[in-house]
Structure 1
Amino acid sequence: MEQVRIGVIGLGMGFSHAKSLAAGRIAGARLSAVCDFNPAKQEIAKETLPSDVRIFSDVDAMMASGEVDAVIIATPHYGHPQEAIQALNRGLHVLIEKPAGVYTKQVREMNNAAAASGKVFSIMYNQRCNPLYKKLRELIADGELGEIRRMNWIVTNWYRSQSYYDSGGWRATWSGEGGGVLINQSPHQLDLWQWTTGMMPKRIRAFCAFGKYRNIEVEDDVTAYAEYENGATAVFITTTGEAPGTNRFEVTGDRGKIVIENGNLTFWRLRVPEPEFNRQYTGGFGEPECWKCDVPIVGDNPQHNGIIQNFTDAILHGTPLIAPGEEGIHGLTLSNAMHLSTWTDNWVDLPLDEDLYYNLLQERIAASTGEKTVREIGPVDMSKTFGTY
């Protein structure tokens, strides 16, 4: 294969991916088809995209057309696993938008299908391309921070007005979206939290407020506390109802502290590790010598195009994936655990009880007033899952 023919499913968020491919911004790939159930979006695609791009209203027809080698799935959340499984079973490579799905039980089936297919499977975790978080991951993996003791992430700069939620009947509903700030706005941070540190918690206690600031069914304010096997702890705070917001990620280890905020990475590095200082110091009041280092960040952030290029390179040349699709389950596990902790008013141990989460989610879907998308694993009418993302 000299060039990957890519089809884009869902022309809400997916339309920007289609335009990048059509403009030749992805080396070794071309846009060969798009698919959306909405006739208005089909018309926009016809007017905007090159004339040789085929436009489909039925996803199965597009996958069976022989026009595509790979697909980008950019539909509402519930549809991601089903559409990915369908594509993988047809022998197509798959890149899904975040999140991987709504509940881990569903995503695990997708991961199993991907493993059995032998095809390239990736997820649109474009923030893994951000040199700030790449550098943080590198410093932690190289042992520069020592053993991690504490993580704090305040990400409250996701402000969304009521008019945003009112723009689509599926938004911020259990039946249409499957969650709120944790499933829509914060999946990148939930991924980066565990990807940069290389750690998943052993248990989580969370407090989600549902419709606290807006007239919605799902969570718009979350505070979560996590504990780890090595004794480390973490606090994760996010909301869509505060202005101005903050985005500050702080990771403390026994060799210092790293903070990412306002596009900068600052490393407060201890001259000697804290445990060593504590063993040797006899002066009473005192603390380890600390150097403030403003770490230079080299490289640009190719964002979504970086993931699509990497996906293409993996198909053509076997290049390792930046964001393997199977890893989407990790961040989703964190959000599912936060929901479950709130619903049960208790700690949630990881791995979480996937059946309990699924059953409690179904109760909320049944009571939801939102537009319905996909409710459960199994055969679905794929045309009903295409909407404005």
Structure 2
Amino acid sequence: MEKVRIGIIGMGNMGKGHTDYFSKNEVRGAELTAVVDTDPARLEWVRSNHGNMNIQLFDNLDAFFASKAFDAVLVATPHYDHPASAIQAFNHGYHVLVEKPAGVYTKQVREMNEAAAKSGKIFGIMYNQRTNPLYQKLRDLITSGELGEVRRTNWIITNWYRSQSYYDSGGWRATWAGEGGGVLINQDPHQLDLWQWTVDMMPTRVRAFCGFGKYRNIEVEDDVTAYVEYANGATGLFVTTTGEAPGTNRFEVSGDRGKIVIEDDKLTFWRLRVSEKDFNRDYKGGFGSPECWKCDVPVVGAPGPQHKGIMQNFVDHILKGTPLLAPGEEGIKGLTLSNAMHLSSWTDNWVDLPINEDLYYEKLQERIKNSTYQKETKELQMDVKGTH
């Protein structure tokens, strides 16, 4: 194979964005050859704006999959439909790259992961923040042992301000039936992924406090404070909201060898000359602390190639065997964190990981049943609204 032919499912904001960079030939070794959407206006947009690309247009999935006009599928449908679309693609023998989030609840995402494994096809997820050199450097400093054993993680990500008019722009917005969650499922999937990816470990249990419609007239969570514990004794805190201005984006990781902070697109390492454990063992002077150097770590290229970078990596993996930066199977990790936070708030209790997937599904269905937005059909709806 010299080129990977790509087919896109869904021509909403995300689908259109991907189409634009394909039209500029910005992904080496790939070409967009087909799209599918049930909305005629969106197919007309492709025809009018990219008619010179010879893209095959489809208005139903059966014809799309049967065409064999592509080698790999990019799933850019609404949240609930990500796993179903991916599973269909695997069953038809296609490689799959799915937009974030992997899905709404881990039970359906686990089924998607199993279908991927059974198919033997390549599976990736559009975790474009993994291309950001800031987070790549943080992961390197932690996994290499430079920071020592992780003791605490703290992420305050409150610069997601959304007004009531934003939520009022679509009846599906911020509803259990339409989106399956609020700030955790809509704005924060990248941060929840990076939280576990950079420190290379998942918590063992979670205690969260979610405010549902705390600042806005919505069904779902718009304010979250979550506390987590890790197997090695470390603890973590994740704070997020769409109702705070001005917001903050500060990720801090403390370890045995110091502290690293990412804020304002900079990475700062407060590096201890000796580990805290060694200092505490040997120091006999009473008051005192380890010698610490403030290091402004040079990071070149932020924010990185983002969506194009993940697509390029996906294509390179198919053509050359380049390691996947964002394997699709890992999408369940960040989603597990958001599901655990929801479940902890719904039950007013601790949630152990892995979570009780059946209980989460049951609680979610209760909220969908009473949601102000009800889907008109259980069939695949490719009416992507660009919900980020």
Match of 2:371 in 1: 368
Aligned residues of 1:269 and 1:291 also touching (Cα < 8 A) = yes
Match of 1:320 in 2: 323
Identify which range, 95-104 or 315-324, moves more after superposition: 315-324
Alignment partners' CA distance in 1, 2:339 and 2:86: 20
Cα displacement (A) at 1:373: 7.2
Matched, 1:353 2:352: no
Aligned residues of 2:37 and 2:382 also touching (Cα < 8 A) = no
Q: Which amino acid aligns with 2:100?
A: K
Matched, 1:194 2:191: no
Aligned residues of 1:159 and 1:245 also touching (Cα < 8 A) = yes
Alignment partners' CA distance in 2, 1:146 and 1:9: 44
Matched, 1:71 2:68: no
Alignment partners' CA distance in 2, 1:73 and 1:39: 18
Distance 1:385 1:369, change over 3 A: farther
Alignment partners' CA distance in 2, 1:259 and 1:278: 23
Alignment partners' CA distance in 2, 1:17 and 1:371: 29
Q: Which amino acid aligns with 2:30?
A: A
Alignment partners' CA distance in 1, 2:156 and 2:16: 31
Match of 2:379 in 1: 381
Match of 1:239 in 2: 241
Residue of 306, 311, 314 corresponding to 2:314: 311
Q: Secondary structure of the equivalent of 1:79?
A: helix
RMSD: 1.1
Deviations 1:228-256, CA, capped at 9 Å, x for gaps: 11110000000111111100000000110
Gaps of 5+ in 2: none
Any residues of structure 2 matched to 1:37-76 within 5 Å, and which?
37-51=38-52, 52-76=54-78
Aligned residues of 1:111 and 1:325 also touching (Cα < 8 A) = yes
Matched, 1:23 2:24: yes
Q: Which amino acid aligns with 2:372?
A: T
Any residues of structure 2 matched to 1:55-204 within 5 Å, and which?
55-204=57-206
Q: Secondary structure of the equivalent of 1:297?
A: coil
Any residues of structure 2 matched to 1:229-308 within 5 Å, and which?
229-300=231-302, 301-308=304-311
Alignment partners' CA distance in 2, 1:247 and 1:201: 21
- TM-score normalised according to structure 1 size: 0.96
Q: Secondary structure of the equivalent of 1:133?
A: helix
Alignment partners' CA distance in 2, 1:160 and 1:306: 28
Deviations 1:192-244, CA, capped at 9 Å, x for gaps: 00000011011000000011111111000000000111110000000111111
Give percent identity, aligned residues only: 70
Alignment partners' CA distance in 2, 1:4 and 1:60: 21
Deviations 1:285-327, CA, capped at 9 Å, x for gaps: 1111100000001335000000000111111112111000000
Residue of 341, 348, 366 corresponding to 2:344: 341
Cα displacement (A) at 1:169: 2.0
Aligned residues of 1:38 and 1:387 also touching (Cα < 8 A) = no
Cα displacement (A) at 1:385: 4.1
Cα displacement (A) at 1:16: 0.4
Deviations 1:176-204, CA, capped at 9 Å, x for gaps: 10000000100000000000001101100
Matched, 1:216 2:218: yes
Q: Which amino acid aligns with 1:282?
A: K
Alignment partners' CA distance in 2, 1:138 and 1:38: 44
Identify which range, 364-373 or 198-207, moves more after superposition: 364-373
Cα displacement (A) at 1:166: 1.9
Q: Which amino acid aligns with 1:381?
A: E
Alignment partners' CA distance in 2, 1:310 and 1:217: 37
Match of 1:2 in 2: 2
Q: Which amino acid aligns with 1:22?
A: S
Alignment partners' CA distance in 2, 1:371 and 1:244: 34
Alignment partners' CA distance in 2, 1:170 and 1:71: 26
Alignment partners' CA distance in 1, 2:376 and 2:233: 41
Q: Which amino acid aligns with 1:3?
A: K
Cα displacement (A) at 1:370: 1.3
Aligned residues of 1:18 and 1:34 also touching (Cα < 8 A) = no
Alignment partners' CA distance in 2, 1:144 and 1:318: 29
Match of 1:377 in 2: none
- TM-score normalised according to structure 2 size: 0.97
